[in-house]
Amino acid sequence: MSIRIGIFGYGNLGRGVEAAIRQNRDMELCAVFTRRDPSSLKLKTAGVPVVSAKEVSAWADRLDVMILCGGSATDLPEQTPALAKYFNVIDSFDTHAKIPEHFENVDRAAVDAGKVAIISVGWDPGMFSLNRLYASALLPDGKDYTFWGKGVSQGHSDAIRRVEGVLDARQYTIPVESALQAVRSGENPELTTRDKHLRECFVVAEEGADKARIEKEIKEMPNYFADYDTTVHFISAEELQRDHSGIPHGGFVIRSGCTGFEGEHKHIIEYSLKLDSNPEFTSSVLVAYARAAFRMAKEGQRGCKTVFDVPPALLSANDPAALRKQML
């Protein structure tokens, strides 16, 4: 019996989940739900129905887990609690500051309905959070550092596109190599925002636009760029398409701590990701946690969980004895 999966929302993330399900033989994609006209969607998987979001409740008994692939700004705060009434659900809610509120809302709905919900699944929040937790539990006397990149920040790219005279843009977040090295050396440096990351922008300007003004506006933009060393390159639309159409990302979680009666021994724990496709990797994490949600629901658990609550063995398609024999 395969685990029956539904996808709610069919953008980059939804397509990534569709691809990831094919890599997991114990899972089956049963339906994709959309708020658009279902006939406008063309899936890559033959024989899977595209269903209007309005009809989702009719599928309550036909799916084991629904994977939500909407955005954190407006979609998930509404959709995750609403869908937890009918399904075990997984989302990738990534507005860090609002996680406690989202957790409460989803927990209420999932407990009432007797479902399992796992929120904020992905790599940050997600695998990076897990590594912060493990490392801080192992080395209580220590300091955590998270670096992001090199990778595309969608939010920063969008911010540049809102500047007058900009046709298109792509922004890369880049960790500062010397800061990384200082952290790895165990120096426990105090790092400002500017010390940790660079921002590199590739901008397609309108013909005749004032590039100096655009560059200045970008570099002085509060929150997004003002606190960083920012580089702006003007390129053609063709160059943007040719050289910058991927969505790579990644980063580093490093904890530097000490042990011993006098704190005399230093230790560095480092976790890093280098991802060709940010949405596809996030999708792969969602799918592994869908397996865990299915198993936790079967065990009779209910309510909202995060990656912190999930025993690692539940993520694997292999059984516990095989895991102990092969991976421990």
Residues lying near a copy of itself in the complex (CB under 8 A) are found at 16, 19-20, 22-24, 44, 96, 99-100, 103, 120, 125, 127, 129-134, 136-141, 184, 259-261, 265-277, 280-281, 283-285, 288, 291, 306-313, 315-317, 320-321, 323-325, 327-328
Q: How far is the CB of 216 from a copy of itself (least distance, A)?
A: 36
Query: For residues 217 and 226, what is the distance between their CA atoms, to the nearest angstrom?
Result: 10
Q: How far is the CB of 136 from a copy of itself (least distance, A)?
A: 7
Nearer to a copy of itself by C-beta: 22 or 213? 22
200 forms beta bridges with 172, 231
Asked if residue 281 lies in contact with residue 311, where contact means CB atoms within 8 angstroms, the answer is no
Q: How far is the CB of 104 from a copy of itself (least distance, A)?
A: 10
Nearer to a copy of itself by C-beta: 104 or 227? 104
Asked if residue 304 lies in contact with residue 107, where contact means CB atoms within 8 angstroms, the answer is yes
Q: How far is the CB of 28 from a copy of itself (least distance, A)?
A: 15
Asked if residue 67 lies in contact with residue 287, where contact means CB atoms within 8 angstroms, the answer is yes
3 forms beta bridges with 27
Q: How far is the CB of 77 from a copy of itself (least distance, A)?
A: 16
Asked if residue 45 lies in contact with residue 23, where contact means CB atoms within 8 angstroms, the answer is no
Q: How far is the CB of 29 from a copy of itself (least distance, A)?
A: 13
Alpha helices in the chain (DSSP H): 12-21, 75-83, 99-113, 127-138, 154-161, 177-184, 193-196, 211-219, 237-243, 278-298, 320-326
Nearer to a copy of itself by C-beta: 236 or 308? 308
Query: For residues 208 and 314, what is the distance between their CA atoms, to the nearest angstrom?
Result: 57
Asked if residue 315 lies in contact with residue 291, where contact means CB atoms within 8 angstroms, the answer is yes
Query: For residues 277 and 275, what is the distance between their CA atoms, to the nearest angstrom?
Result: 5
Nearer to a copy of itself by C-beta: 103 or 225? 103
Nearer to a copy of itself by C-beta: 96 or 216? 96
Nearer to a copy of itself by C-beta: 59 or 103? 103
